[in-house]
A and B are shown apart, each in its own frame.
Chain A
Amino acid sequence: MRFYEFEAKKLFGKYGIPLPAGSRVAHSPNEAAAIAEEIGGPVVLKAQVLTGGRMKAGGVLFAETPSEAAHAAEKILGLVIKGHTPRGVLVEARAPVEQEYYIGVTWDGFARLPVMIFSDMGGIDIEEVAEKHPEHIAKRHFSTIHPFSDYMAKELVASLGVSGTHLLRLSHIAAQLARAFRNHGLTLAEINPLARLEDGRFVCLDGHVDLEDDARESQRALLEELGIDPNEKRQARPPTEFEVRGSQIDAADPRGVAGNVVEFDGDLGLIIGAGGGSLTLFDAIRKHGGRPANYCEIGGNPSVAKTCALTKLILSKPGVKKIAVMMNVVSNTRVDLVARGVIKGVIESGCKPSEKIAIFRIPGSWESEGFKILEDYGVEYCDRTVSMYEAAGRAVAKMREG
């Protein structure tokens, strides 16, 4: 769950991370003028949207006076940025910046530990810095079990040659960011840029926070404190009609999972799943040059009706020529029940299973029963002797055959 910038900053403020003066959200031009009046100097106004590219879209404006701030807020509140209407306008004091830094905390899947990242080249994508200027990036892993100590943040910052007062101030910010990350089940806490002002103070100019979806319940108190509805779904873009219908199919029947549908613009519909298998299979299709029409997740033994409904939804998407039904080896999902659901969905969509299903690769419980069903309907299937990667290749080859 992604936080708006103003919410991320509220969290940072709770942890004593310095913010620009003012730093409040306005929902009307008058409110923006009042905040600018309080600040009493030049301000920056920023559209609160959960997408990038707001600067280009005119979502970040500067103002010297309260009346200019009101005018700028009016413009910003009327924007639609990549389909997002601003949740408000963040109004903050504008101050002369001497240098920009980057501090972030995220999860390192390879090390299975959280990692702090620091760079003295802030204001640009950290990925770009890592690629072009790796010597300007420092990393420091830390434990989720042992208590966090300030010396870890100090080691991180000092490793790029920062010393003296700057080291102390930056280390404090990095340490507090790491604590916020640990305490609240975050998957990302990032300050970019972190500015050093001409007077030597550091302030967070922009921030990103992602909360692990499964942590919503444990972090209910924090969400309420920040004014976030714990049940609010937030994604990088609003769900499409196709995705909404996918969620409805999943929610309508508690048996198993057949949902989490994400729409793409390809021609091969996917019914995929199994403990990370869906991501692997999606990537495998792309690696073979295929164009997925969707991503989805099935598992936990969905009912025949649920799989049938998901199949019909995917086949109803314009441009979908065939579907591939693939999973890793499954023990908690019955192969025969998935086969029944998919075949039923194809038939109820007015198509022939043998033509519409490019490949069926679900090995696991009740597979012999499932294979009998697939044979009856002439569907190409394979067992665990065919890897997921190879099965994806077969599906793409079938698409090329037409």
Chain B
Amino acid sequence: MALFIDVEVAPQVASSPDLARKLVEVCPVNIFALGAKDALEIVEKNLDECTLCELCLSVAPPGGVRVKKLYGERQVLERRG
């Protein structure tokens, strides 16, 4: 179970094969994977490896991906429109 980082992906991003592939491609620690019918899946065991690089935020539309720190001020990282 992830202790430090959580990632939320909006349904319209998760169901878009193009965006899903981009997310899989950019994440340096394999938090995203492609599931059945190229639907996006979150790899739970890799969540705590998140380096906070924000590459996932940059390839998704504003608000499409949210990276939540589960410590400190519980800051949420997201791209704003």
Contact = CB atoms under 8 A, between A and B. Distances in A.
Interface of B: 3-4, 29, 45, 48-49, 51-52, 71-73
B48 A304 contact: yes
Interface stretch (A227-235, A320-328, A337-345, A381-389): A337-345
Given A344-B3, A347-B3, A372 B51 contact: no
Interface in A347-364: 347
Contacts, number: 29
A340 B72 contact: no
B75 to A, nearest CB: 9
A334 to B, nearest CB: 7
A372 B72 contact: yes
A334 B51 contact: yes
Contact of A376 (B29, B48, B51, B71): B71
B53 to A, nearest CB: 11
Interface of chain A, main secondary structure: helix
**8 closest residue pairs by CB, A with B:** A372-B72, A376-B71, A304-B48, A373-B71, A340-B4, A304-B49, A340-B48, A372-B71
Interface of A: 303-305, 334, 337, 340, 343-344, 347, 369, 372-373, 375-376
A337 B51 CA distance: 8
Nearest to B72: A372
23 contacts: A303-B29, A303-B49, A304-B49, A305-B45, A305-B49, A334-B51, A337-B49, A337-B51, A340-B3, A340-B4, A340-B48, A344-B3, A344-B48, A347-B3, A369-B52, A369-B72, A372-B71, A372-B72, A372-B73, A373-B4, A373-B71, A375-B72, A376-B72
Contacts of B71: 372-373, 376
A347 B71 CA distance: 15
